[in-house]
Amino acid sequence: MNVIVLSAVWGVVMMFSGLFIADKSKAKVVAAIGLIVLLVGNYFDLHHQSFTLSDFNGLLHVDSFGLIFTSIALVSTLLYLLLTGSEMEKVGNHIFEYWALIFFVLCGVALVAVYNNFLMLFLGIEIISIPLYILTGADKRNLKSNEGSLKYFLMGSFSTGIMLMGIAFIYGARGTFALEMPPITTTHLPVMIAIGLTFLAIALSFKVSAAPFHFWTPDVYDGAPTVFTSFMATVVKAAGFIAFVRLFEVSFGGMTDYWQFTIALIIVTTLVVGNITAVFQQSIKRMLAYSSIAQAGFMLFAVYAVNALAKEGILLYAAAYCLATIGIFAVLVKMKDYTFEGFNGLAKQQPLVAFLTTIFLLSLAGIPLTAGFLAKYYMVASAMKSGTYIWLLLIAMLSAAVSVYYYFRVIQAMYFKQGDAAASDITPTFKVVLAITAGLIILLGIFPNSLLLDWFHLF
């Protein structure tokens, strides 16, 4: 798969160009070229033209699901770069290195999108995580950033350990690392598989910050420099879900009876904890951290349902969620004050930016005509298709209504409250890219098929 190779190579290119290019602001340009190269590589992947057509003895399974997700991740990263790339210069001096790390993360993202082997899953998750530990602590002189980084590193290593242990148990039971598992014929799940399954579920829940394994999320998201939070909360998180869905579909799809109820409980906890806590936040950055937990609750429906609709749905959700969250973070980075009051009266100062932010928020809240609505719809529909508990759906809907509360608080601050929200360096290019992002959200909300989902059947 081209993207895996290219992203690793371009990471190295980024590092070395840091040695030769003195002008820090050029890092963005090199990274943009890299992303375009990756997108081209991804395009050829989609048309089955790759450096190597091998599937590495079954270690990878390159399918349209993984490839389309890689495209979503790459496009999101490109928009992320265009919107917030220049903010990185405020974090520290090592811009080229930051971008190198982001390219390594993308390598991991591409890997977890197409893995077909437990070891590849482990490798992909680690390649994603390690650069992120560094990026979280990028703001060296900021204690919160250091704290977040350490916390993330400790908790992350711990969860990786649990994941490895789970993989070991499953290996012990079956003697192979291959993802695909024959259906269980005995009436009871073999103990080793059951333990392995539990450990893997815990580890992945940690990675996607599903409750009750979410405690690191607010501190890390809040502590990390906002530019990097934006990337972590979107592309990385969505990748975690792709890994989750893939694992549970391919490996444990034949034994849904054993784990569906547990996942349902995780969904409920995640939705309730994420939404209720988000309501009480005063800082928009922290609110977004909790909202990302709440959104994770909805995305978990895809894991719960494991059917074709869920796979389409999680792609749509990933796209909708990444676009909207990147957009909001891009605006947030520009703000002086991260509290809700800091947004007071933004509509007066920056009418277009406020309007576009409203679209992002409406999409996260799941109002029709935005991609966020259809994404939520697909999630619920897929869960229903595979048979579901009515209480699960009712709680999901209640929490969606609660989420309106905190998303709309931002809208109220921008439009209906008096204040002098201060936003710095809003350039015309920024506005255009932000408008493109919002436009994509609306288009996905009206024509999800021609824009995204039809590709699924095309390749």
* Residues 46-76 as b or e (16 or more Cβ within 10 Å = b): beeebeeeeeeeebbbbeebbbbbbbbbbbb
HSE value, Cβ hemisphere, 13 Å, CA-based, for 29: 7
> How many CB atoms are located within 10 Å of the residue 116 CB?
22
> Nearest Cα to 222, choosing from 163, 275, 292, 273?
292
- x-or-dash pattern for other proteins, window 394-433, by CB under 8 A? x--xx-xx--xx--x---x--xxx----------------
Which member of 161, 212, 368, 439 binds other proteins (CB under 8 A)? 368
Residues 294-323, interacting with other proteins (CB under 8 A): 309, 312
CA distance 242 to 310: 11
Smallest distance from other proteins to CB 174, Å: 35
Instruction: Work out whether 372 is an interface residue with other proteins (CB under 8 A).
Output: no
The site that binds other proteins (CB under 8 A) totals a number of residues, namely 29
Q: Which amino acid is at 147?
A: E
Going 88 to 90 to 95 to 97, the CA torsion angle's sign is negative
> Nearest Cα to 355, choosing from 273, 415, 443, 422?
415
Q: Which stretch binds other proteins (CB under 8 A): 5-13, 253-261, 393-401, 433-441?
A: 393-401
Residues comprising the chain, all counted: 459
Instruction: Work out whether 369 is an interface residue with other proteins (CB under 8 A).
Output: yes
Smallest distance from other proteins to CB 325, Å: 21
Which member of 29, 272, 393, 436 binds other proteins (CB under 8 A)? 393
Q: Which stretch binds other proteins (CB under 8 A): 150-158, 275-283, 374-382, 427-435?
A: 374-382
Q: Which is nearer to other proteins, 171 or 355 (CB)?
A: 355
Q: Which is nearer to other proteins, 90 or 385 (CB)?
A: 385
Which member of 181, 367, 436, 443 binds other proteins (CB under 8 A)? 367
Q: Which is nearer to other proteins, 265 or 394 (CB)?
A: 394
By 3-state DSSP, what share of the chain in percent is helix, strand and coil, each rounded to 5? Answer: 80, 0, 20
Which member of 30, 74, 233, 380 binds other proteins (CB under 8 A)? 380
Write out the DSSP string of 300-353.
Answer: HHHHHH-SHHHHHHHHHHHHHHHHHHHHHHHHHHHBS--BSGGGTTHHHH-HHH
CA distance 415 to 84: 24
Q: Which stretch binds other proteins (CB under 8 A): 183-191, 278-286, 318-326, 363-371?
A: 363-371
Residues that bind other proteins (CB under 8 A): 309, 312, 362, 367-369, 373, 377, 380-381, 384-385, 390, 393-394, 397-398, 400-401, 404-405, 408, 412, 415-417, 448-449, 453
